[in-house]
Chains A and B, each alone.
Chain A
């Protein structure tokens, strides 16, 4: 059976199953378990309404529990066992890992990525948002800068492989060097700096995201504050840095953290561009190097990523709780 037909069937079964489940479970609840036409309808309606939320939530909670909550525990548990998974070695995976040069490089590089990518993307996004704010063709400009968001990390990597290519007849960087008479070099093999060339790909993708959100935030600033500043004689730079930026600080933080989380997940760029060679390994790609080979080590790396993400997670939850109040 062709996978496409299989896919269509799955859609039918999945969608039909979902609709059927929700419809049938509600029907059974109202007609069979707590019938409204019975002796004490009021009590039954209240009882049914206590159960119903859980009927609505059940499929989602089951999927979330299985695919996101269980793995947190499951990964940690697995990381305490050896490669084949039959011998308990406590934190053995973690101690060997932290002693491993590759892991140290990955951790250090990841630290650089977390430092550089969110900062650059947010800064550039803010810059574009501000510059295009009153431009007649601003929307077209924004749309074009936003476009890389739609491109896969693999596609983006390939796009930039052209730019970074060693051959001055293919790579733009080396073509420019060629004009100035410099010998061609491979930017991806330049120790230390190659990390920044890889980071720029993600910045290129994420700037649009930052721009869209910050641009909306800039539009949301009350005009009176800006007018007042203009009347007081503030120049455009003062207006931007002293009036606008402080008012959208909350949004800037959200954008910053969202990109930070993303940086900790993206393995595609390093995987496609250098395969982790030339000192460009980061944690997600380091983990994939062990995936299928040493599950104990792979889960240990994943858990380290989880621990790095944890503060952001807690902060997000606290923000969400405050909003609800």
Chain B
């Protein structure tokens, strides 16, 4: 096809450029989050993440020690270096909190009551006052600090904020909620695909219909039911809920796949005396592996990422928060301004799905196609 006149058009450059633009547009927000999660807290609020490879100008405040003051002919002077033992490069300075970067390094600032302050770019300063200096005067200055990337945000969130607990809770919800529906659905899908009985068509239609039932409907009646039976808000409850909610898609995907298996294999097995149970476990189940994998990925991503079901079916104490609830209900409120911590938390929660996504993309795509293009 590529050599036919008309397909190799002059548009090819435009196509390449627009795809690059789209991909960049799609990636930028996530990259921003990733970069921010490694940045130092003060640097995040000083410059945008897109400037993170460059030194950041930050404002500092130091006290000139009044004890070091020397009196000489009615002029009290303190000399020293704003960086103390360290080093750096002062760009601007000031003597007032309200105007911390009023003067350029090297200038002499006239402060109130005839005091003066001079800060050189290497950080050495001279502070003079006609009166005796009793309180430590403040020096404000702006200095460039090198880019500061570290895992500190991750350490903080894991150590002090119970995020590790939330991670384990998410895992606890996800694994059983992924495995159990697969088994139940596989048997049902086999029956709907390869067994002949009255009402099969109706049941398939029912499954298709249930695919789109909004989850919201299930919340109140089922929570009431769980409370009545004594399950209440618990892990057992959420496993059952996820199993129920995942089943229509599981049955639908698996049945679509199983129907496509070659009839000959199954019939010859039956002629050789295999029971349905044997046909299912020894032939259909192994052959359906791609479909099983597709659904497993779907269900895993869905349960891992779910907020709604977790909010309703799990207890609302912080012990049983999953990561999505932790971020949405706790961190966004209590750490609303601490962008580094928020970014780190978000990245911890999306890391596992991203790994699953990139390693198993093939199955995910196959599952999507089986579920939609028919």
Residues in A lying within 8 Å of B, measured CB to CB: 3-4, 6-8, 10-11, 14-15, 18-19, 22-23, 26, 30, 49-50, 52-54, 56-57, 59-61, 63-64, 66-72, 74-75, 78, 127-128, 131-132, 134-135, 138, 141, 143-155, 157-163, 165, 167-170, 172, 175, 204, 207, 209, 212-213, 216-217, 220, 223, 226-227, 230, 234-236, 251, 254-255, 258, 261, 264-265, 267-268, 271-272, 284, 287-288, 291, 295, 298-299, 301-303, 305-306, 309, 312-313, 316-317, 319-321, 323-324
B343 at the interface (CB under 8 A from A): yes
* Given known contacts A71-B218, A299-B220, A60 and B209 CB-to-CB distance under 8 angstroms: no
B1 at the interface (CB under 8 A from A): yes
* Given known contacts A132-B19, A236-B9, A268 and B353 CB-to-CB distance under 8 angstroms: no
Q: Do A268 and B214 touch (CB < 8 A)?
A: no
Shortest CB distance A187–B (Å): 13
From the candidates B49, B217, B244, B305, name the one contacting A155 in the complex (CB within 8 A).
B305
CA A172 to CA B176, docked complex, whole Å: 40
Question: Closest chain B residue to A144 by CB distance?
Answer: B23
Query: Could you write out 5 A-B pairs with CB less than 8 Å apart?
Result: A56-B190, A56-B276, A147-B30, A154-B349, A295-B224
Within 8 A of A (CB), among B192-237: 192, 195-197, 200-201, 203-222, 224-225, 235-236
Interfacial chain A residues near B221, Cβ < 8 Å = 70-71, 74-75, 78, 299
Interfacial chain B residues near A26, Cβ < 8 Å = 275-277
Q: Do A324 and B204 touch (CB < 8 A)?
A: yes
Q: Do A317 and B205 touch (CB < 8 A)?
A: yes
Given contacts A141-B22, A158-B33, A170-B45, 7 further A-B contacts (CB under 8 A): A18-B180, A19-B183, A71-B222, A74-B221, A155-B305, A288-B308, A288-B311
Q: Do B251 and A60 touch (CB < 8 A)?
A: yes
| Interface segment, one of B10-18, B90-98, B99-107, B149-157 | B10-18
Most chain A Cβ neighbours within 10 Å, of B2, B48, B221: B221
Q: Do A63 and B243 touch (CB < 8 A)?
A: yes
Interfacial chain B residues near A312, Cβ < 8 Å = 212
CA A120 to CA B4, docked complex, whole Å: 32
Pairs A-B, 10 closest by C-beta atoms: A67-B244, A74-B221, A152-B305, A60-B188, A150-B357, A56-B191, A71-B218, A302-B216, A7-B172, A230-B6
Interfacial chain A residues near B373, Cβ < 8 Å = 213, 216-217, 220, 251, 254
B328 at the interface (CB under 8 A from A): yes
* Given known contacts A4-B172, A230-B7, A302-B214, A324 and B19 CB-to-CB distance under 8 angstroms: no
* Given known contacts A61-B188, A155-B305, A169-B46, A68 and B245 CB-to-CB distance under 8 angstroms: yes
CA A194 to CA B171, docked complex, whole Å: 34
Interfacial chain B residues near A128, Cβ < 8 Å = 19, 22
Q: Do B201 and A144 touch (CB < 8 A)?
A: no
Interfacial chain B residues near A57, Cβ < 8 Å = 187-188, 191-192, 203
Residues in B lying within 8 Å of A, measured CB to CB: 1-2, 4-7, 9, 11, 15-16, 18-19, 22-23, 26-30, 32-33, 36, 44-50, 168-169, 171-173, 175-176, 179-180, 183-185, 187-188, 190-192, 195-197, 200-201, 203-222, 224-225, 235-236, 239-241, 243-245, 247-248, 251, 275-277, 280, 301, 304-308, 311-312, 320, 324, 327-328, 332, 339, 342-343, 345-346, 349-350, 353-354, 356-358, 361, 364-365, 368-369, 372-374
From the candidates A230, A268, A319, name the one contacting B5 in the complex (CB within 8 A).
A230
Q: Is the interface of B mostly helix, strand, loop or mixed?
A: helix
Interfacial chain A residues near B197, Cβ < 8 Å = 50, 53-54
Interfacial chain B residues near A220, Cβ < 8 Å = 373
Shortest CB distance B29–A (Å): 5
Q: Do B343 and A284 touch (CB < 8 A)?
A: no
Q: Do A22 and B277 touch (CB < 8 A)?
A: yes
Interfacial chain A residues near B217, Cβ < 8 Å = 71-72, 75, 299, 302-303, 305-306
Most chain B Cβ neighbours within 10 Å, of A78, A268, A312: A268
Shortest CB distance A244–B (Å): 13
CA A148 to CA B185, docked complex, whole Å: 28
Q: Do B172 and A216 touch (CB < 8 A)?
A: no
Interfacial chain A residues near B332, Cβ < 8 Å = 158, 272
Q: Do B213 and A264 touch (CB < 8 A)?
A: no
From the candidates B1, B171, B243, B345, name the one contacting A223 in the complex (CB within 8 A).
B1
From the candidates A60, A163, A271, A313, name the one contacting B307 in the complex (CB within 8 A).
A271
Interfacial chain A residues near B276, Cβ < 8 Å = 26, 49, 52, 56
CA A319 to CA B173, docked complex, whole Å: 35
